[in-house]
Amino acid sequence: MQEKEKQLTPDQFETVGYTMEEANKIDRPTISYWQDAWRRLRKNPVAMAALVVLIVLVILVIVGPNLRGYDYVNMNVTEKNLGSSTKYWFGTDSLGRDLFSRVWVGARASILIALVATTLKLVVGTLYGSVMAHFGGWVDELLMRVIEVINSLPSLLVTILIMMVLGNNLFALFVALSITAWCNTARQTRGMIKQLKESEYVYAAEVLGASPLHIILKHYVPNMLSILLLDASTAIPAFIFTEAGLSFLGIGLTSPEISLGVLISQGQQTMDFYPSQLFYPCAVLCIIVMAFNLLGDGLRDALDPRLRK
């Protein structure tokens, strides 16, 4: 190769043009905290599997009762206590009602109860916690004392009494379930906001002249949301259990309304003879709870900023 050819001259280069803006541009696209969380969640096969299972469950809960064409309350005593068959996938109960339809109607009620109770818990807890953190001082002290009192009351007592006062209906169940549950959320919220208020980056944002709205949206909400999401993912299965436990005491939904808890407590009474009547609702309950738990674990990993790559 010749020397000459190696020489570079300016005319061999062409200005493609650049601006200051382009110079400062970062090639890797900025992704928000949420996009990043979602990206990491997607990479977690277990969490994704849980998510898929949950979606399938939700679909089943909506359409499941109609799949087999049997009404969940229509009895047919000539076909009672049957095992699984192609006619009745999960068998029938003591009045000859299709268990497959009943399980999904029950699961629908259980999930609905858990979702509403969780929402109540989160809303009340967050508001209460924010008030405590915002005002501080004697308000904080007083409100904290209220939480302490509620926590020292046996929750079973409160739940039973509320159900007795308000009667056995859905509304009473929501109140009874969430009345003691919000305390924990309130405490967490209070701790979080207090910590954030003192943190350097909020201070920095304030100094830089960020508006309160900006601080709330960009700093408080994301931090709070991750906590609340985790709270919800543990609260939902917990509510499903509590409701199931109450069914065993004869408290909660009354016939002909059913939840998984009602089905399990009825199945338990005949488990020596027709174990399938206990097994199917229990299995569905396990799957729901398992899915929420695994998704919760995945969310925790995905939302933890310290794990961000």
Partner 1 sequence: MKLKRRSVLGMMGAACLSAILAGCGGSDDSSSAAVSSAAQSGTDTQVLNIRTTAFGNNYDVQDMGWRWMMAACYSGLYRNVADDTGEHFVLDGAESVDVSDDGTVYTFHLQPNAKWSDGQPVTAHDYEYGWKRLVNPKYLYDYASFIFNVVGAEEYYNGTGTADGVMAVAVDDYTFQVTLKIADPTFEAKLVATPLYPTREDLAETAGDQWGKDWTLCVYNGPFCMSELVEDNKMVWTKNTNYWNADETHLETVNWYLVGEDSTAATMFDNGELDVLQTSGDYSRKYQSEAEAGQVQMITADYPGTVCLAFDHKNGGKSGLMGNLKIRKALSYSINREEMIDAVYGRYEPAYGFISPAITFDGKSYRSQVEEPMLADYNKYAGDYDALKSLFQEGLSELGMSTDLSSVTVTYLSYGSTVEESSFREYLQQTWQQNLGIQVELNTVGDYSLFTAERDAGNFDLFSAGWYSDYNDPLDYLNTFYTGLYVSVSGGYSNSEYDALIDSLAGENDNAKRLSIYTQCEQILFDDCATIPLYYSTKEYFLQNWVKDFRWSSFGASQEFYITYIEGRGF
Partner 2 sequence: MTKYIIRRLVEMALTLFIIATATFFLLEAVPGDPLTQRADRLPEQSRAALYERYGLDRPVMERYLTQMNNMLHGDFGESFVYAGQTVSGLLKDRLPVSARLGIQQMLLGVSVGLLLGILAATHARSPIDYAVVGLSVLLISVPHLVFGLLLQKVFAGTLKWFPTIGWPTGKDLWLGGWKYTVLPTLTGCFSYIATYARLLKTSMLDVINQDYVLTAESKGLSRGAIVRRHILRNSFIPVMTQLPMSVAMCITGSFFIESIFSIPGIGQYYVTAVQNQDLSIVLGETVLLALLYIVVLFITDVLYVVVDPRISMPGTSSR
Instruction: Out of 67, 142, 164, 307, point to the residue binding partner 1 (CB under 8 A).
Output: 164
Contact range with partner 1 by CB under 8 A, out of 27-35, 137-145, 218-226, 246-254: 246-254
Region binding partner 2 by CB under 8 A among candidate stretches 12-20, 31-39, 70-78, 152-160: 152-160
Does the footprint of partner 2 cover residue 218 (CB under 8 A)?
no
Q: Among partner 2, partner 1, none, what does residue 130 contact (CB within 5–8 Å per kind)?
A: none
Whichever of 73 and 156 has its CB closer to partner 1, that residue is 73
Shortest reach from residue 83's CB to partner 2, in Å: 19
Q: In angstroms, what is the minimal distance from the CB of 95 to partner 1?
A: 6
Interface positions, 164-203, toward partner 2 (CB under 8 A) = 164-165, 187
Contact between 145 and partner 2 by CB under 8 A: the answer reads: yes
Question: Ramachandran region of residue 153, left (φ > 0), alpha (ψ -120 to 50) or beta?
Answer: beta
Instruction: Tell me, by CB under 8 A, how many residues bind partner 2.
Output: 40
Q: How far apart are CA 61 and CA 43, in angstroms?
A: 27
Q: How many CB atoms lie within 10 A of CB 199?
A: 13
Closer to partner 2 at the Cβ: 25 or 306? 306
Contacts 24+ apart (CB under 8 A), 170-176: 170/113, 170/253, 173/113, 173/117, 173/243, 173/246, 173/252, 173/253, 174/113, 174/116, 174/117, 174/120
* 309 forms part of the interface with partner 2 (CB under 8 A): no
Which member of 208, 273, 306, 309 binds partner 1 (CB under 8 A)?
A: 273
Indicate the residue among 237 and 267 with the shorter CB distance to partner 1: 267
Residue with tokens 């919800």: 232
Distance CA 275, CA 138 (A): 57
For residue 11, give the DSSP letter: G
- Looking at 30-38, 103-111, 203-211, 277-285, which segment touches partner 2 (CB under 8 A)? 277-285
Options 55-63, 78-86, 118-126, 271-279: segment touching partner 2 (CB under 8 A): 271-279
Q: Which of residues 25-54 bind partner 2 (CB under 8 A)?
A: 46
How distant, in Å, are the alpha carbons of 51, 53, 193, 306, 307 from that of 200?
36, 41, 13, 17, 20
Q: How far apart are CA 254 and CA 258, in angstroms?
A: 7
Give the dihedral sign, CA 13/16/20/24: negative
**Residue 59 is a binding residue for partner 2 (CB under 8 A):** no
- CB closer to partner 2, 78 vs 152: 152
Interface with partner 2 by CB under 8 A: which range of 64-72, 113-121, 204-212, 266-274? 266-274
Tokens matching residue 294:
């695994």
Here the tokens at position 113 are 């109860």
Under the binding rule (CB under 8 A), the answer on residue 95 touching partner 1 is: yes
Q: Which is nearer to partner 1, 71 or 301 (CB)?
A: 71
In sequence order, what DSSP letters do the residues of 241-254 get, joined into one string?
HHHHHHHHTT-S--
Q: How far apart are CA 52 and CA 36, in angstroms?
A: 20
Judged by the rule CB under 8 A, the positions of this chain that interact with partner 1 are 73-75, 77, 80, 94-96, 163-164, 167-168, 249-251, 254-256, 265-266, 269-274
